[in-house]
Structure 1
Amino acid sequence: MPIDDRLLSELAAQIDQLPEPHIVLGRDYRVLAANAGYRRRCGSGTSLIGRHCYDVSHRYHVPCDLAGESCPLAASLKSRQRERVLHLHHTPHGEKYVNIELTPVMDDRGEIVAFLEKMERLRGAWDETGRRALIGRAPAFRRMLELVARVAPAEASVLLLGESGTGKELVAQAVHEASHRADGPFVAVDCSGLTETLFESELFGHERGAFTGAIARKTGLVESAAGGTLFLDEVGDIPLGIQVKLLRLLETGAYRRVGASEPRHADIRLISATHRPLEAMVQAGQFRQDLYYRINTFPIPMPPLRDRLEDLPLLSADLLARVAPDRGLRLTADALDLLGHYAFPGNVRELRNLLERASLMCDGTQIEPRHFAIELGDAARPDTEISTDASAFDMARLQRDFLRRALEQHKGNRRELASRLGISERTLYRRLRTLTTD
Structure 2
Amino acid sequence: MAAQPEPTATMPPATADSPQVQALVSYLEHEAQPMIVLDPDYNILAANTAYQRQFGTADRPYLGHKCYRVSHHYDLPCDQAGEHCPMKRAFELKGPDRVLHIHHTPRGPEHVDVELRPILDGEHRVVAYVERLTTVRHASARPRQAGLVGRSAAFNAALEAVQRVARSQLPVLLLGESGTGKELFARAVHEASDRHDGPFVVVDCSGLPETLFESELFGHERGAFTGAQHRKQGLVETAAGGTLFLDEIGDVPLGMQVKLLRLIESGTFRRVGATETQQADFRLVAATHKPLLQMVAEGSFRQDLYYRIAAFPIHLPPLRDRSADIPMLVDSFLQRGARTGQRIAVQAAAMARLQAYDWPGNIRELRNVLDRARLFADDGVVRPEHLPDWLNAAARPDAATPAPAPGDAELRRLLADGRLSRREMAARLGLSERTLYRRLKTLGLG
- TM-score bracket relative to the smaller structure: 0.7 to 0.9
Q: Which amino acid aligns with 1:3?
A: A
Give 1:193 deviation, angstroms: 3.4
Q: Which of 28, 31, 35 does residue 22 from structure 1 map onto? A: 35
Evaluate the alpha carbon distance shift between residue 132 and residue 18 of structure 1 in structure 2; reply closer, same or farther with a 3 A threshold.
farther
CA distance in 1, matches of 2:147, 2:97: 26
CA distance in 2, matches of 1:126, 1:55: 21
CA distance in 2, matches of 1:343, 1:96: 27
Which residue in the other structure is 2:387 paired with?
372
**Partners of 1:126 and 1:132 within 8 A in 2:** no
Which residue in the other structure is 2:423 paired with?
none
Q: Which amino acid aligns with 2:40?
A: R
**Partners of 2:158 and 2:316 within 8 A in 1:** yes
Q: What does the per-residue CA deviation read over 1:17-45, in whole Å, with 9 as the maximum and x for residues that have no partner?
A: 32211110000000000112111222132
Which residue in the other structure is 1:35 paired with?
48
Evaluate the alpha carbon distance shift between residue 123 and residue 179 of structure 1 in structure 2; reply closer, same or farther with a 3 A threshold.
farther
In the alignment, structure 1 residue 62 sits paired with structure 2 residue 76: yes
CA distance in 2, matches of 1:169, 1:204: 22
**Partners of 1:190 and 1:233 within 8 A in 2:** yes
**Partners of 1:65 and 1:71 within 8 A in 2:** yes
The answer for unaligned runs of 5 or more in structure 2 is 1-11, 402-446
Partner of 1:318, secondary structure, is: helix
**Partners of 1:344 and 1:379 within 8 A in 2:** no
CA distance in 1, matches of 2:114, 2:398: 42
In the alignment, structure 1 residue 337 sits paired with structure 2 residue 337: no
Give 1:126 deviation, angstroms: 6.0
CA distance in 1, matches of 2:359, 2:44: 44
Which residue in the other structure is 1:291 paired with?
305
Q: Which amino acid aligns with 1:89?
A: H
Give 1:363 deviation, angstroms: 0.4
CA distance in 1, matches of 2:257, 2:102: 40
CA distance in 2, matches of 1:8, 1:179: 32
**Partners of 2:102 and 2:109 within 8 A in 1:** yes
Q: Which of 89, 98, 103 does residue 89 from structure 1 map onto? A: 103
Q: Is the radius of gyration larger for structure 1 or structure 2?
A: 1
CA distance in 2, matches of 1:13, 1:194: 57
Q: Which of 192, 195, 205 does residue 181 from structure 1 map onto? A: 195
Give 1:375 deviation, angstroms: 3.2
Q: Which moved more, 1:297-306 or 1:191-200?
A: 191-200
Give 1:201 deviation, angstroms: 0.7
Q: Which amino acid aligns with 2:75?
A: H
**Partners of 1:12 and 1:35 within 8 A in 2:** yes
Which residue in the other structure is 1:195 paired with?
209
Give 1:314 deviation, angstroms: 0.8
Partner of 2:119, secondary structure, is: strand
Give 1:68 deviation, angstroms: 1.4
* TM-score, normalising length: structure 1: 0.85
Q: What does the per-residue CA deviation read over 1:363-382, in whole Å, with 9 as the maximum and x for residues that have no partner?
A: 012111111123323544xx
In the alignment, structure 1 residue 266 sits paired with structure 2 residue 277: no
Q: What does the per-residue CA deviation read over 1:131-156, in whole Å, with 9 as the maximum and x for residues that have no partner?
A: 56221121111111110110111110
Q: Which moved more, 1:102-111 or 1:30-39?
A: 102-111
Q: Which amino acid aligns with 1:284?
A: E
Q: Which amino acid aligns with 1:169?
A: E
**Partners of 2:145 and 2:335 within 8 A in 1:** no
The answer for unaligned runs of 5 or more in structure 1 is 393-438
Partner of 1:286, secondary structure, is: coil
Evaluate the alpha carbon distance shift between residue 211 and residue 378 of structure 1 in structure 2; reply closer, same or farther with a 3 A threshold.
farther
CA distance in 2, matches of 1:302, 1:142: 10
Partner of 2:216, secondary structure, is: helix
Which residue in the other structure is 2:420 paired with?
none
Percentage of identical aligned residues: 53
Instruction: Indicate the structure whose relative CO is greater, using CA pairs within 8 Å and at least 6 residues apart.
Output: 2
CA distance in 1, matches of 2:116, 2:176: 32
CA distance in 2, matches of 1:62, 1:195: 57
Which residue in the other structure is 1:414 paired with?
none
Q: What does the per-residue CA deviation read over 1:131-182, in whole Å, with 9 as the maximum and x for residues that have no partner?
A: 5622112111111111011011111001111111000000000000000000
Evaluate the alpha carbon distance shift between residue 379 and residue 163 of structure 1 in structure 2; reply closer, same or farther with a 3 A threshold.
farther
Partner of 2:149, secondary structure, is: coil
Q: How many residues align?
A: 386
**Partners of 1:124 and 1:176 within 8 A in 2:** no
Give 1:261 deviation, angstroms: 1.1
CA distance in 1, matches of 2:366, 2:335: 13
Which residue in the other structure is 1:429 paired with?
none
Partner of 2:227, secondary structure, is: coil
CA distance in 1, matches of 2:313, 2:79: 27
CA distance in 2, matches of 1:272, 1:102: 31
* TM-score, normalising length: structure 2: 0.83
Which residue in the other structure is 2:362 paired with?
347
